[in-house]
Copies of this chain bind each other. A is one copy, B any other.
């Protein structure tokens, strides 16, 4: 991989310029107003993959945004790596909290600031560039396929259908994904677990129109007050979720495994000061690492109702709304938890209001085996470039499509991401270190060679 590494070194400035161009595209899949830009981003990714030397390029139509496909099939006797990533991004709101505009990438203190810098354009693009180098230097030791989607941030609806209908096209020995984090520069890690997700939207309706709070206040239930009560009934004061049956299928992690999980270094004081919180808070009886990995959670992601403009309006509103999501752990099922949530939320609704519950996309929790050829290849590749063996960690986030890959295609995924948990993904001032970007590009080719080597044994 010497020629490849030299090539990567030589071309690094161009790689960054190309990434910037990609980051300038507001490919916000959640907001229909950005439809044209999301599609234009797919086209740009396809062109870049073609320039990188990939073949059979195509934008596959789906029920939502297109899937960008491309491959380089060098020899059918070699193993095949399927690279997954996404070109869509989270909404950038609240806009006023960004120090530089979300879609005008900028380097400060060695970091690229932009929406999608880390999640996932920066990480996805590392693969395009690493593969470009191996192709151009004639050192590609495996077949490779790329499958880059545009709906990861809204549930991968289109990709699900695409995967189900294209088993042959997507046949591979491993799926390689960079959409996760390492612990730090000195403590590389590989994600071996992801939480699942159930995401609900609720609507509480009292009177059928907004009322004057003076004339009706005190006699007519206020939907905001009621919604607050109901949210409050979703968790008890020990941080336990009170939805009937919620914990029924939760994996019981052994004391030994819990001890192992807690070996991961976590500086709680640094964590608190970095987040600006006075204290951590969560489920009684579990550590911060456990709370964000092996335990399910419930968060209100958004709430609104009544008058939210400037000044004072004395309204007793007709409706109140909330978006409420739950992170799930093995062996919870997103569909089952969504149904339990709906039943419970309706059960706790007072008789004088009407409640509507709808489920957004969900995803299943996942545990990746750490004794496979793929895991060992990732471990060796990172050890090569970091100089230290990475540790396996279970992450708190969700990439719902990964469990679908296993289920539909029967292929395991390797979650070899290069971000930091501090990269502010999904937040204002999202960023991705230049160090991380280049370290990823450097590491990926070694994964290919170790993976090919492992397979030939």
Kindly report how many copies of this chain are found in the complex they form together. 2
Are the C-beta atoms of B217 and A396 separated by less than 8 Å? Answer: yes
For the complex, count residues of A whose C-beta is within 8 A of B. Answer: 102
CB of A285 within 8 Å of the partner chain: no
Query: 9 A-B pairs, CB-CB below 8 angstroms?
Result: A31-B309, A197-B314, A207-B275, A218-B291, A218-B296, A232-B232, A302-B305, A303-B305, A311-B360
Q: By the criterion CB–CB under 8 Å, are A311 and B427 in contact?
A: no
Cβ proximity bits A270-284 to B, threshold 8 Å, 1 near / 0 not: 000001111111110
Measured in the bound complex, the distance between the Cα atoms of B292 and A424 in whole Å is: 48
Residue of B nearest to A286 (CB): B218
Secondary structure class of chain A's binding surface, majority of residues:
loop
Whether the pair A303, B281 counts as a contact (CB closer than 8 A) is no
A 290-322 contacts with B by CB, 8 A: 291-292, 295-317, 320-322
- A-B pairs, top 10 by smallest CB distance, nearest first, are A208-B276, A214-B397, A218-B297, A30-B311, A302-B306, A224-B300, A228-B231, A221-B281, A312-B360, A218-B291
Encode contact with B along A169-201: 1 for CB under 8 Å, 0 otherwise: 000000000000100000000000001010101
Asked whether any CB of chain B lies closer than 8 Å to the CB of A325, the reply is yes
**In this assembly, does A211 line the interface, its C-beta being within 8 Å of a C-beta of chain B?**
yes
Give A304 to B228 CA distance when docked, in angstroms. Answer: 12
- Asked if A206 lies at the interface with its beta carbon under 8 angstroms from chain B, I say yes
Q: Are B313 and A301 in contact (CB under 8 A)?
A: yes
Pick out which of these stretches binds chain B: A16-24, A91-99, A136-144: A91-99
Task: Report yes or no: A303 in contact with B320, Cβ–Cβ below 8 A.
Answer: yes
- Are A199 and B312 neighbours in the complex by a CB distance under 8 Å? yes
Residues of B within 8 A of A305 (CB): 300, 302-304
- Say which residue of B181, B301, B313, B315 sits within 8 Å of A314 (CB atoms): B301
Shortest Cβ distance from residue A153 to the other chain B in the assembled complex, whole angstroms: 8
A99 shortest CB reach to chain B, Å:
11
B427–A212 touching, CB < 8 Å: yes
| Nearest-CB residue, chain B, relative to A273 | B208
A219-B292, A301-B313 given; name 19 further pairs at CB < 8 Å: A31-B310, A91-B309, A153-B313, A208-B276, A211-B426, A214-B395, A217-B396, A219-B281, A224-B302, A224-B303, A227-B303, A228-B303, A232-B232, A277-B352, A279-B351, A302-B315, A303-B303, A303-B308, A307-B323
Determine if A350 is an interface residue (Cβ-Cβ < 8 Å).
Answer: yes
Q: Which residues of B contact A154 (CB under 8 A)?
A: 311-312
Alpha-carbon gap, A296 to B217, bound state (A): 9
User: How far apart sit A201 and B397, CA to CA, in the bound complex (Å)?
Assistant: 33
Question: Which residues from B are CB-within-8-Å of A283?
Answer: 218
Complex CA–CA separation, A29 to B93 (angstroms):
28
A225 in the interface, Cβ–Cβ < 8 Å?
yes
Contact yes or no, A361 B216, CB < 8 A: no
Do residues A210 and B302 form an inter-chain contact, with CB atoms below 8 A? Answer: no
Assembled-state Cα–Cα distance A97/B225 (Å): 22
User: Is A105 in the interface zone, CB < 8 Å from B?
Assistant: no
A153 to B350, CA, bound (A): 32
Tell me the chain A residues, 41-62 only, with Cβ under 8 Å from chain B: none
In the complex, A166 has a CB within 8 A of chain B: no
